[in-house]
């Protein structure tokens, strides 16, 4: 949640007054006319209310964000339920910071306990649960795999093998009913710290461009997929050899969406404008999918394609 900001429209400036209500689930927005006013003073403009499960203010810490959005998902993944976190917003609104934390943390120049984002906290949590489960039941093995890829101009690229420049085909459904990028690098990870090292290296290969709003703007959606596969070793009396069978498997997807913005600068290159159109189209499609999935009337068709 960012504080009040001014958004320039034409020759006038439109101000919004944003208030987080005490229940921390409601935001009030006062959007006055295009005339310049002092938003710090009381006025007669009607406040429009928006309700959420939880509202995080500019004072919320990275740990607060994880407690609200990530902690419960980790528990569900170990129960065999897929999960997803989407970071959505304008360029420079803090999506990548929320997901990964600052680059300074990776170089040891920031306190990781304070600055680390959702992904490193998720990995630490996952390995803690893995260790606890394996200690409680020696017949159980928990494997964690990581895939990192981007969707750029409606094509999928492996960020662990970005140098190839080859797009990947989407295949599926597999035995779990999931769709997946065929031929993608699947990293088996054994420690949270090692996983973050390879992840940050992969994230640096993500496509970026200079835009009117930002010197470095992500032009693709980045997906971090963590697969948790649990197996049990069972000894049958009729067999001398132990039987290993898959007990549970689920995936957690953490997505850093490209910036949602409208670029109207004639100085932008044709490529940058084309990227912007593809970003807006994909975000609009995602909006339709989310709306269909959350439709309480049970809409049958979900526009995945």
> Which residue ranges make up the annotated binding site for ATP?
89-96
Could you tell me if 248 and 78 are in contact, meaning their C-beta atoms sit under 8 angstroms apart?
Answer: yes
* 8 A C-beta contact, residue 91 and residue 259: yes
State the burial class of residue 180 (Cβ atoms within 10 Å of its Cβ: 0-12, 13-18, 19+). Answer: buried
How do 243-256 and 83-87 pair as beta strands?
Answer: parallel
The binding site comprises 89-96
Are 46 and 35 spatial neighbours (Cβ–Cβ below 8 Å)? no
SS3 at position 156: strand
Measured in whole angstroms, how far is the alpha carbon of residue 18 from the centre of its chain? 24
Q: What residues have CB less than 8 Å from 174, skipping those under 6 apart?
A: 180
Chain CA centroid to CA 299, Å: 25
Closest CA to 149 of 249, 251, 78: 251
Element (H, E) at 292: helix 270-293
How many Cβ atoms from other residues are within 10 Å of residue 14's Cβ? 15
Compute the distance between CA of residue 9 and CA of residue 35 in angstroms, rounded to an integer: 11
- The length of the chain is 305
Region for 92 from its dihedrals, namely left if φ exceeds 0, alpha if ψ lies in -120 to 50, beta otherwise: left
Terminal Cα-to-Cα distance of the chain (whole angstroms): 31
Neighbours of 271 (CB within 10 A): 11
Residues 95, 256 contacting (CB under 8 angstroms): yes
């Amino acid at each position: 949640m960012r504080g009040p900001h001014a958004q320039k429209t034409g020759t006038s400036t439109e101000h919004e007054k944003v208030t987080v209500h005490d229940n921390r689930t409601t935001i009030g927005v006062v959007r006055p006319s295009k005339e310049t006013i002092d938003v710090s003073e009381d006025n007669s403009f009607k406040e429009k209310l928006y309700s959420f499960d939880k509202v995080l203010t500019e004072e919320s810490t990275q740990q607060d964000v994880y407690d609200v959005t990530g902690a419960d998902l980790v528990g569900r993944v170990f129960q065999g339920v897929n999960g997803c976190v989407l970071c959505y917003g304008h360029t420079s609104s803090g999506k990548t910071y929320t997901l990964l934390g600052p680059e300074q943390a990776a170089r040891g120049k920031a306190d990781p306990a304070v600055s680390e984002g959702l992904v490193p906290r998720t990995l630490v949590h996952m390995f803690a649960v893995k260790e606890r489960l394996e200690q409680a039941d020696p017949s159980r093995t928990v494997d964690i795999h990581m895939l990192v890829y981007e969707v750029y101009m409606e094509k999928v690229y492996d960020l662990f093998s970005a140098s190839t420049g080859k797009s990947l085909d989407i295949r599926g459904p597999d035995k779990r009913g999931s769709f997946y990028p065929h031929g993608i690098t699947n990293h088996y990870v054994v420690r949270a710290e090692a996983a973050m090292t390879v992840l940050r290296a992969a994230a640096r290969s993500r496509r970026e461009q200079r835009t009117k709003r930002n010197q470095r703007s992500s032009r693709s959606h980045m997906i971090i997929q963590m697969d948790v596969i649990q197996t049990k070793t069972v000894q049958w009396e009729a067999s001398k050899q132990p039987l290993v069978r898959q007990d549970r498997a689920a995936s957690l997807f953490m997505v850093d969406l490209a910036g949602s913005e409208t670029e109207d600068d004639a100085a932008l290159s044709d490529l940058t404008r084309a990227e912007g159109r593809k970003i807006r189209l994909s975000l609009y499609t995602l909006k339709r999918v989310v709306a269909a999935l959350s439709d309480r009337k049970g809409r049958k068709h979900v526009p995945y394609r």
